Amino acid sequence: MKKLIQKANVLIEALPYIRNFYGKTFVIKLGGAAQKKDELLHAFAEDVALLNFIGIRPVVVHGGGPKINAMMKRLGMKPSFVHGHRVTDPETMDIVEMVLGGLVNKEIVALINSKGGRAVGLSGKDGGLIKAKKKKLKLGLGDDMDKALVDLGLVGQVTDVNPEVLATLDKDGFIPVISPVGVGAKGETLNINGDDITSAVAGSLGAEKLIYLTDVEGVKDKKGKIISTVSKARAKRFISSKTIKGGMIPKVNAALDALKNGVSKAHIIDGRVPHCLLLEIFTPEGIGTEITS
């Protein structure tokens, strides 16, 4: 009986959060960490289905870099990167679109549906969801030096999001699952960073939360301790002081852009923890870092 009462207490603890978030939109980026193990993917799919059942509106954006690399190597191609950005020629773009839209996306959709959810797979090309322009990477040292522009090929940056297709799906209770490609002004397919698409989609929907599932525990201070809550202003200071550095910088900047565009809170959490979504959303402590406006 004691164990049953404990289970009831867990549900009661979650009640205020369920009440506060009912009818709100959460945009979730499923990073590579949570895609590496089947049990983590299953736990993620269960979390998303549960959110949907209790009246929260999840929108999922996913990546798939490791699987793209693996497919390229199987085909005898060598992935090429410049400062972490994939150089994407037309042949590589075909593989990116095939893997993201045809393999990774459908795997996630099928898993969510197997847990009772009603997921629908999309790319940024569907319904004109993600419009983009070609992105050129600036390389250089210091603010006063000329910065060389590197052409990354068919790599894009978001210029506009049309949320109508997402609103239509949401109205009928479907869960959108978006692969990170968009369409350029001439109809060309562009490979876009998943974090940037997640931020842009969250801003266009006025989401309650943007949540990044990553391969780290959260934002850490210089002593390596997780920072549970940080304001926009403090996060900018942490970037300036190099407390936040490396691959965490673009993720935090994407979160700050989303907050600027009306998202209430952004979360960076460890996707290697089973049911990390529920632990972050429905417990007072959380397990990662929340960035507030």
Please state, in angstroms and rounded to a whole number, the distance separating the CA atoms of residues 291 and 236: 11
Q: Extract the tokens encoding 241.
A: 């002081």
Q: How many CB atoms lie within 10 A of CB 61?
A: 28
Q: Is 32 a catalytic residue?
A: yes
Tell me which of 31, 63, 64, 65 is the catalytic residue.
65
Please state, in angstroms and rounded to a whole number, the distance separating the CA atoms of residues 232 and 257: 10
Tell me which of 24, 32, 106, 170 is the catalytic residue.
32
Please state, in angstroms and rounded to a whole number, the distance separating the CA atoms of residues 164 and 201: 11
Helix ranges (DSSP H) in the chain: 2-21, 38-53, 65-74, 90-97, 105-114, 164-171, 194-205, 232-240, 248-260, 276-281
Q: Is 195 a catalytic residue?
A: yes
Q: Extract the tokens encoding 119.
A: 């997921």
Q: Is 224 a catalytic residue?
A: no
Question: Which letter, b or e, does each residue of 99-131 get, where b requires 16 or more Cβ atoms within 10 Å of its Cβ?
Answer: bbbeebbebbbebbbebebebbbbbbbbeebbb
- Of all residues in the chain, what percent are helix, strand and coil, respectively (each to 5)? 45, 25, 30
Tell me which of 47, 126, 195, 257 is the catalytic residue.
195
Are residues 239 and 255 in contact, defined by beta-carbon separation less than 8 angstroms? Answer: no
Tell me which of 251, 257, 265, 271 is the catalytic residue.
251
Q: Is 265 a catalytic residue?
A: no
Q: Is 128 a catalytic residue?
A: no
Report residue 29: phi and psi, to 5°: -95, 115
Active site residues: 29, 32, 65, 195, 251
